[in-house]
Chains A and B, each alone.
Chain A
Amino acid sequence: EAQVTQNPRYLITVTGKKLTVTCSQNMNHEYMSWYRQDPGLGLRQIYYSMNVEVTDKGDVPEGYKVSRKEKRNFPLILESPSPNQTSLYFCASSFWGFSYNSPLHFGNGTRLTVT
C-alpha cells in the first residue's frame, strides 16, 4: 500500500531532550516536507527537500533540523525541544513539487508535547 509513515504517533518529552520524528514513504517520491499545525494558524512548512541531499527552509525552520540521506526517509530532528514546539506535525511527499499531477500525500501525524 502506497503511504507516508510517521513515527511515533504521540510523543511527550521534556524541554531540552533531543528527539527525532521519522518519516518514510514508499512511493519513490522526490519531494518531501514537514509541516506543523497549530490552532488558528493552519499548516506551516518547516523544511522541505526536493531530492536526496537537498533540503531547504520553509516558513518556520527555527529549532528544527532535517536530513535527506535516502530518497524514502526524511527525519525531523529537534535538538533542544521547547514548549512552543508543542504541536501536531505532518510529513508529506509528492512526485515533484506540487502540480495537478503531483498532489501532496500526508503521513498520519505526530502529536508532540514538550513540557
Chain B
Amino acid sequence: RKEVEQDPGPFNVPEGATVAFNCTYSNSASQSFFWYRQDCRKEPKLLMSVYSSGNEDGRFTAQLNRASQYISLLIRDSKLSDSATYLCVVNEALNEKLTFGTGTRLTIIP
C-alpha cells in the first residue's frame, strides 16, 4: 500500500461547480498535512495546511479525518484558474519525512 494515495483523475468539472477529492495516508502517527497546487511543468506551491478542526480559505475547505486516515479538499464555485494538479502532502513527524501523493489532476471546463 502506498504511504499517501490519491485518485490521479483527471477530473473534468464545469465552471462554477463544486468538486472534492480525498487523499488517504497509511501512517497513523502522521503529524501535519498539506495541500499543494502544481500547475503544468511548474513548481508545487502551498495551497493550504490541513488542521485537525478543518479549515477554510475562501472557496477552499480542507478536512482531516484521523480515524479513517484521510484528508479532503473541497473547492466551491470552481474557476478556470483552479485547473491544476493538487498534491496531498503528509509529514511523518517521527523521522521528519515529508511524503507526497502523486497528485489529482483537475480541469475546469468553461
Do A and B make up one complex? yes
Using CB atoms and an 8 Å cutoff, list the residues of chain A in contact with chain B. 35, 40-45, 88, 90, 97-100, 103-109, 111
A9 to chain B, nearest CB (A): 10
Query: Most chain-B CB neighbours within 10 Å: which of A45, A105, A106?
Result: A106
B42 to chain A, nearest CB (A): 7
Across the interface, A42 reaches (CB within 8 A) one of B34, B41, B45, B100, namely: B100
Contact A43 B87 (CB under 8 A): yes
Chain B residues whose CB sits within 8 angstroms of the CB of A104 once the complex forms: 46, 89, 98
B94 to chain A, nearest CB (A): 12
What are 24 A-B residue pairs whose CB atoms fall within 8 Å in the complex? A40-B8, A42-B100, A42-B101, A42-B103, A43-B44, A43-B87, A43-B100, A44-B100, A88-B41, A90-B43, A97-B96, A98-B32, A99-B91, A100-B32, A100-B49, A100-B51, A103-B34, A104-B46, A104-B89, A104-B98, A105-B46, A106-B44, A106-B45, A108-B42
Residue of B nearest to A58 (CB): B97
Contact B96 A109 (CB under 8 A): no
Contact B43 A106 (CB under 8 A): yes
Q: Which residues of B22-45 are within 8 A (CB) of A? A: 32, 34, 41-45
Using CB atoms and an 8 Å cutoff, list the residues of chain B in contact with chain A. 8, 32, 34, 41-46, 49, 51, 87, 89, 91, 96-98, 100-103
Chain B residues whose CB sits within 8 angstroms of the CB of A100 once the complex forms: 32, 49, 51
B85 to chain A, nearest CB (A): 10
> CA–CA, A34 to B49, complex, Å?
21
User: Closest 8 A-B residue pairs measured CB to CB?
Assistant: A42-B102, A106-B43, A43-B100, A98-B91, A103-B46, A97-B96, A42-B100, A100-B49
Contact A109 B43 (CB under 8 A): yes
Chain A residues whose CB sits within 8 angstroms of the CB of B8 once the complex forms: 40
Contact A99 B32 (CB under 8 A): yes
Chain A residues whose CB sits within 8 angstroms of the CB of B45 once the complex forms: 106
Contact A98 B43 (CB under 8 A): no
Residue of B nearest to A88 (CB): B41
16 other contacts beyond A100-B32, A100-B51, A108-B42, with CB at 8 A cut-off?
Answer: A41-B102, A43-B44, A43-B87, A44-B100, A45-B97, A98-B91, A98-B96, A98-B98, A103-B34, A103-B49, A104-B89, A105-B46, A106-B44, A109-B41, A109-B42, A111-B41
